[in-house]
Structure 1
Amino acid sequence: MTKLDTDFVRGQFLAFSEPSLRDQVFAENAGGSYACRHVIWRLTRFYKQRKVQPYAPYAASLLAGDEMDEARERLARLLNVGSDELVFGPSTTQNVYVLANAFAEWMVPGQTIIVTDQDHEANSGAWRKLANFGIEIREWKIDPETGHLDIEDLKNLLDDTVKLVCFPHCSNVIGEINPVEEITQLAHAVGAVVCVDGVSYAPHGFPNVSKLGADIYMFSSYKTYGPHQGIMVIRRALAAALPNQAHSFNGDALHKRFSPAGPDHAQVAACAGIADYVDALYSQHFKAGRDGAGRAGCVHDLVRAYEIDLMKPLLDYLSSKNNIRLLGPKDAKLRAPTFAIEISGKAEDAAARLAHHGIMAGGGDFYAVRPLKAMGIDPAKGVLRLSFVHYNVASELDRVINALDQVL
């Protein structure tokens, strides 16, 4: 099986040659990843050569519009959806709020939305506010010990009043990867659509959204090696059915229908650099012959296999400690390499102590107040979070383990 070339990978990120970051281990990737060089190059070029209003009939403007269109088209191909089904917004949280407004107009009192208490607040809070419009909100609750979402519990919540089921592909503190295809099939069977928060999963490999069957799939480009944008897929039939949330004259263009504000032209254009990076990984590790979702699928599997092996020593270490509580599964194959740990003291203080050892980690609630409370953890105390992606290497995790031994 092809193995990930980590020297090549790290060579694609300028941060690893930056003197101010030398001898630091970046262990808070769930909060935002380093940007790949392709994105930085495209963003710099746009600001230097194309920073004009796009789509006007002069050269710089035409090039600006072409780059924005390229980003949408190439990311859509990676996700195996149509380019008109991909929407850019300032953040995933903002994208959900716009969607919630559309669903508030579309749904009628007495209909139901299912949310979870495993979610980051982005795919939970805005939907819960629709209770003010007479929409019933049902909560799919996690196991308070493990954080697991049980499919049987969901089945008990589903009926013909349910029109929307919202859940995370992967929690940003529990780390467990949820079975999106199975959940989606159950929701579709009662006539509901699904909204999947992929923010904590997409950094570990872009999913084939068509294969998953999700009606809405969201993630943040600043966590997938790009600039600070929210990226949202809304499948064509649903997008056409939901009320327009943009200017009235933009309602016929599906990719504009849920963007009430003008996009950040430069950041949208720079997102094509994410596709450049996926292409570079594919070309380095595989023979030519695939494009779009095929390339993304190969890179996904390559990265996933590497990250499973990478996290095992740290997962074994954390699982063996009786003075801490690791949230989520102990089996690397069931989770992403995002580890939230309940410790005896305040998590933020432990993160500060780790910084003295050159470990960049985070402590707090990470906008995951609901799952922390559901698992009996005081959000004010928070959890220590250590999160990794495929550009991290085994020697860095060894340093993390050694630092934890001293700090904890």
Structure 2
Amino acid sequence: MSLNVEQIRAQFPVLQEQVNGQPLVYLDNAATTQKPQAVIDALVEYYSTYNSNVHRGAHFLSDKATRRYEEARQVVANYLNASRTEEVIWTSGTTEGINLIAQGVAQRLQPGDEVVVTEMEHHANLVTWQQACKRAGAKLKVAPISDAGELDVSAFKALINEHTAFVAFPHISNALGTINPVKELTAIAKSVNALVLIDGAQGVAHGAVDVQTIGCDFYVFSGHKVFGPTGVGALWGRYEILKDWPVWLVGGEMIATVTYQDATWGELPNRLEAGTPNIAGVIGLAAAINWLQQFDANEILAHEQDLLAYATELAERIEGMRLVGTAPQKIGVMSFVLEGTHPADVGFILDKQGVAIRTGDHCAQPLMKRLGVPGTARASFSIYNTRADIDRLFSAIKKAQMMLA
């Protein structure tokens, strides 16, 4: 590997912490990634030297804040290979981005229309469309997955027909790590002219995202999944679609004209960004993407795959440990159950040993029901994790088994 993981780890202050008297092993990256010093510095610099509102001030601080804010939009546009900067809309995260689109879709759906999702959805990309269909009298259809957690593409294709108005699916499953064939799925949906949204919350930190190559209409993600701050994210949408999209919120910034009787809306991106935005978060997100792009995406993926392969090898040696989600194409996510234990108890014991993982249903209750488990323990790997972290994880798992036997 050409990645110098130790040098990378040194850039993350929190990884130097101790938890319960043990050096921290952070394996909850699918929930949120840690922040490099470059991102922390960008936030501190904003609040310390040019804190101001954007677009509205006739003074130096506002001008600098506005410039950095819009430069960040260009950073995200380049990262996603957007055709226009205006196609990037700032949100509070993936959930708000999906809701922004769903609110507009609900106004366009007619009784008899169909929306297609998958069995592996996060609640944010399931409940949103469920409720939109209820409001419009449309039908929600769910594409099945295999027992290994892989989408059944043939079954997905069979659900697509002349009534399909909208299709939404994750780039990568947060609960299982399964990588979906997003370009193929998009092409299938486009064969009937359906609109396509991709939940990219787990996709942006694990390889290059090219929305032009994928061919989708909307791609949404959260900053905190890609080494940036919480509370900020981006929606990318095709200009020709977004320019007339129903407004999401009304108020300041998104207005063209106002009278006491009526109002008109501004152009993109303003028309979909009402109110004072999370300026620091946007600047921090750009800093995170710039930091990430200094590394080769293929090398990052290879590093994570090495960690996953090593963890899988160790898991296969432990009696009573069952992996949940074994699709052949997946990122560094290892969900598992230990026979005779509850995931919450496993997570508690691991935490006492300084190992941070996630437990529960991972905001995917229907998926857990489909797989026949109440929830899982989930270890998820990132650029700064090492095989030594994996060793600590399995040492802690063995102790949990012993204590819970």
**TM-score normalized by structure 2?**
0.90
Match of 2:259 in 1: none
Quote how far apart the aligned CAs of 1:263 are. Answer: 1.6
Structure 1, unmatched stretches of 5+, are 282-298
Matched, 1:249 2:255: yes
Q: Which amino acid aligns with 1:149?
A: L
Match of 1:76 in 2: 77
Measured in 2, the distance between the counterparts of 1:170 and 1:319 equals 24
Match of 2:385 in 1: 392
Q: Which amino acid aligns with 2:399?
A: Q
Q: Check conservation: 1:103, 1:242, Cα contact below 8 A.
A: no
**TM-score normalized by structure 1?**
0.89
Measured in 2, the distance between the counterparts of 1:173 and 1:319 equals 20
Match of 1:48 in 2: 48
Render the CA deviation track for 1:177-216: whole Å, top value 9, x for unaligned: 0100100111111111211111122222341222122211
Q: 1:182 to 1:325 in 2, by over 3 A?
A: same
Matched, 1:347 2:351: no
Matched, 1:210 2:212: yes
2:46 partner SS: helix
Moved more, 316-325 or 361-370: 316-325
Structure 2, unmatched stretches of 5+, are 257-264
After TM superposition, the structure 1 = structure 2 runs for residues 251-266 of structure 1, keeping only pairs within 5 Å, are: 251-266=265-280
Quote how far apart the aligned CAs of 1:245 are. Answer: 2.2
The structure 2 residue matched to 1:402, chosen from 387, 395, 405, is: 395
Q: Check conservation: 1:147, 1:371, Cα contact below 8 A.
A: no
Match of 1:173 in 2: 175
Match of 1:303 in 2: 300
The structure 1 residue matched to 2:199, chosen from 197, 208, 212, is: 197
Quote how far apart the aligned CAs of 1:279 are. Answer: 4.0
Matched, 1:317 2:317: no
Quote how far apart the aligned CAs of 1:261 are. Answer: 4.5
Measured in 1, the distance between the counterparts of 2:203 and 2:154 equals 23
Count of aligned residue pairs for this structure pair: 384
Q: Which amino acid aligns with 1:358?
A: G
The structure 2 residue matched to 1:371, chosen from 359, 367, 372, is: 367
Quote how far apart the aligned CAs of 1:328 are. Answer: 1.4
Match of 1:236 in 2: 239
After TM superposition, the structure 1 = structure 2 runs for residues 60-99 of structure 1, keeping only pairs within 5 Å, are: 60-81=61-82, 82-99=84-101
Structure having the larger proportion of residues in helix: 1
Q: 1:376 to 1:259 in 2, by over 3 A?
A: farther
Match of 2:27 in 1: 27
Render the CA deviation track for 1:373-401: whole Å, top value 9, x for unaligned: 111112xxx21111111110111111112
Quote how far apart the aligned CAs of 1:18 are. Answer: 4.5
Moved more, 236-245 or 217-226: 236-245
Render the CA deviation track for 1:60-88: whole Å, top value 9, x for unaligned: 01111111111111121111112211121
Measured in 1, the distance between the counterparts of 2:316 and 2:159 equals 33
2:377 partner SS: strand
Overall identity of the aligned pairs, in %: 27
Q: Which amino acid aligns with 2:381?
A: F
Render the CA deviation track for 1:242-298: whole Å, top value 9, x for unaligned: 3232436264432233334432111112222113303433xxxxxxxxxxxxxxxxx
Q: Check conservation: 1:357, 1:403, Cα contact below 8 A.
A: yes
Q: Check conservation: 1:29, 1:223, Cα contact below 8 A.
A: yes
Q: Which amino acid aligns with 2:142?
A: E
Match of 1:222 in 2: 224
Measured in 1, the distance between the counterparts of 2:5 and 2:240 equals 41
Match of 2:142 in 1: 139
Q: 1:376 to 1:325 in 2, by over 3 A?
A: same
Q: Check conservation: 2:349, 2:396, Cα contact below 8 A.
A: no
Render the CA deviation track for 1:320-362: whole Å, top value 9, x for unaligned: 445232111264xx11111111233221111010112211112
Q: Which amino acid aligns with 2:255?
A: F
1:171 partner SS: coil
Q: Check conservation: 1:16, 1:22, Cα contact below 8 A.
A: no
RMSD (Å) for aligned C-alpha atoms: 1.9
Match of 1:123 in 2: 125
Measured in 1, the distance between the counterparts of 2:201 and 2:383 equals 16
